[in-house]
Amino acid sequence: MRYRMMGATGIRVSEVGFGSGDNAGLLVKGEPREQLEAIERALELGINYFDTSPDYGKGLAETNIGKAMREIGFRPVLATKVEVMPDELDHIADAVVESLEESLERLQVDYVDVLQIHNPPSIETDTTVPGWLHLGLDDYLGPGGALEGMERLRRAGKTRFFGFANEDANADAVMALMETGEFHMLNVWYDLLNPTAGLPTPDGLDVQHDYGQFLRRAQELGIGTAVIRPLGGGVLTDHAVSGGGRHALAGGGLTRNADMYQAMVERARPFAFLSRPGQTLSQAAYRFILQDDAVTTVLGGFSEMSHLEEAAGCSGAPPISDEDMARLDMVWRSNVGKWDQEEQFISGL
């Protein structure tokens, strides 16, 4: 396992991290023994960055990580999150404090290294987006806002660094938050399906959210970045593009919406050329991300041990070849097939 600095924090983290979300499901719906075995194997492979949230399994992921830390006797670099709910908009700072204190109880620790706001940043707060409250800059930064709550927690010794997640985020709002100098670790949506957080948007590629290469600016500002959904929610796999269904433990919107899952698989199929003897599509997807030196860590989502081992094995792998990058550019410029289901996509997740 290779390690990268988490921005300007002075913390070195494994370039493959352990994600614990519902989409993969191992730390939410897996058996206790297989959860423990996977975490032990992750530690053997050198993974030292664990990402979780009270949203994952309604606290189950945090609880299960806490149990494992206690049983095995390890302490990783630990990140968790806070999701501000619509009924908390009149007391955001208090809600942030309360949420982390509950997370610390589940994790059985006194502090986390990174506390992130899970709500996607927006210029103005938007409560109408299905499935998410997009939190505006005033509610992030203003009096009684999320940052105030995070600062209270840092003064109390309950977190070291701040961050936020960027699933469906507004790029201008992300840039504005980064420029404050208050945030140290971002979760970033960056994959073969939407490379715009790290690369200029290819001519012809239609994406639901153009992230404006904000990975570049984060690197300039000394902000760490953790890539989420590196496999596009599980569709950038040989299993998926060859017609396989969702894993038994997999959850999230793509499990609840079979039509959306199939639409995403169709979106992923043009990338199947990356699969060949000695390289799976998943490995190519991880290598694409890890070749970017603006990325600190890529958060694997694991449903079983083999997923963990495949992801960890990509650490230190060579970058995508120039020939394959040229072919990727052609796929992007062809718009990866037609994509006209934005509303279904957003509501499905």
pLDDT tens figures, 55-102: 999 999 999 999 999 999 999 999 999 999 999 999 999 999 999 999
Helix (H, G, I), strand (E, B) or coil at 299: strand
Nearest CA to 288 among 167, 192, 188, 166?
192
Nearest CA to 263 among 325, 205, 339?
339
Average pLDDT value for residue range 255-270: 91
Query: What pLDDT does residue 256 have?
Result: 85
Q: What ranges in the chain are assigned the alpha helix state H?
A: 26-29, 32-44, 60-68, 92-107, 137-141, 146-155, 171-179, 214-221, 238-241, 253-256, 258-268, 281-290, 305-312, 322-333, 342-348
Map out the domains of the chain as residue ranges.
Answer: 3-232+276-321
* CATH class entry, domain 3-232+276-321: alpha beta
Q: If pLDDT is split at 50, 70 and 90, which confidence band does 337 have? A: low
Gap between the Cα atoms of 67 and 236, Å rounded: 31
Q: What is the mean pLDDT of the chain?
A: 94
Helix (H, G, I), strand (E, B) or coil at 324: helix
Query: What pLDDT does residue 286 have?
Result: 98
Average pLDDT value for residue range 199-207: 94
Average pLDDT value for residue range 324-346: 74
Q: Which residue has the higher pLDDT, 345 or 229?
A: 229
Look at residue 38 and tell me whether its pLDDT is greater than 70: yes
In this structure, are strands 12-14 and 3-5 parallel, antiparallel, or unpaired?
Answer: antiparallel
Gap between the Cα atoms of 264 and 232, Å rounded: 8
Nearest CA to 100 among 181, 158, 55, 42?
158
Query: What pLDDT does residue 346 have?
Result: 41
168, 134 in Cβ contact below 8 A? yes
Quickly count: other Cβ atoms within 10 Å of residue 167's Cβ. Answer: 16
Average pLDDT value for residue range 171-191: 98
Average pLDDT value for residue range 328-342: 77
Structure tokens belonging to residue 173: 């709002």
Length of the chain: 349
Spell out the residues 6+ positions from residue 65 whose beta carbon is closer than 8 angstroms to its own: 20, 27, 39, 50, 52, 78, 107
Phi then psi for 114, rounded to 5 degrees? -130, 130
Spell out the residues 6+ positions from residue 278 whose beta carbon is closer than 8 angstroms to its own: none
Gap between the Cα atoms of 121 and 133, Å rounded: 9
Condensed to tens digits (0 to 9), the pLDDT of residues 296-322 reads: 999 999 999 999 999 999 999 999 999
